[in-house]
Amino acid sequence: MGGFPETLRFQVGIYVAKFVKWLYTDYQSVFDAITHSILWFLIRIEKFLLWLPWWLVLLFVFVVGWKLKNIKVGLVFSLLIFIIGTFGLWDHMMMTLAIVLSSVVISLLLGVPLGILTAYFDKFNTIMRPILDAMQTMPSFVYLIPVLMLFGLGKVPAVFATIIYAIPPVIRLTDLGIRRVPKEMVEAAHAFGSSSWQTLIKVQLPQALPTIMAGINQTTMMALAMVVIASMIGAKGLGMEVLIAINRIDIAKGFEAGVSIVFLAIIIDRLTQGIANRFKYPE
pLDDT of res. 282: 46
Q: Do the Cβ atoms of 189 and 245 come closer than 8 Å?
A: no
- In whole angstroms, give the CA distance from residue 10 to residue 50: 51
- In this predicted structure, the answer to whether residue 76 has a pLDDT above a threshold of 60 is yes
C-alpha 65 chain-centroid distance: 22
Question: Does residue 174 lie within any of the structural domains?
Answer: yes
**What is the number of domains present in the chain?**
1
Q: Where are the alpha helices (DSSP H) in the chain?
A: 12-26, 28-51, 54-68, 71-86, 90-120, 122-137, 140-151, 155-179, 183-191, 196-199, 205-225, 227-231, 238-248, 251-278
pLDDT of res. 48: 92
Question: Does residue 63 lie within any of the structural domains?
Answer: no
135-167 pLDDT, tens per residue?
878 777 777 777 777 777 778 888 888 888 889
Residue 141, exposed/middle/buried by CB under 10 A (0-12, 13-18, 19+)?
exposed
- Secondary structure class of 86 (helix, strand, coil): helix
- Show Cβ contacts of residue 43 under 8 Å, excluding neighbours closer than 6 positions: none
Domain span including residue 243 = 12-51+87-278
Reference 150, options 36, 40, 25, 43; nearest CA is 25
Question: Does residue 263 lie within any of the structural domains?
Answer: yes
Question: Does residue 203 lie within any of the structural domains?
Answer: yes
CATH number, position 102 = 1.10.3720.10
Question: Does residue 194 lie within any of the structural domains?
Answer: yes
238-282 pLDDT, tens per residue?
888 888 888 888 888 889 988 998 898 888 888 888 777 776 654
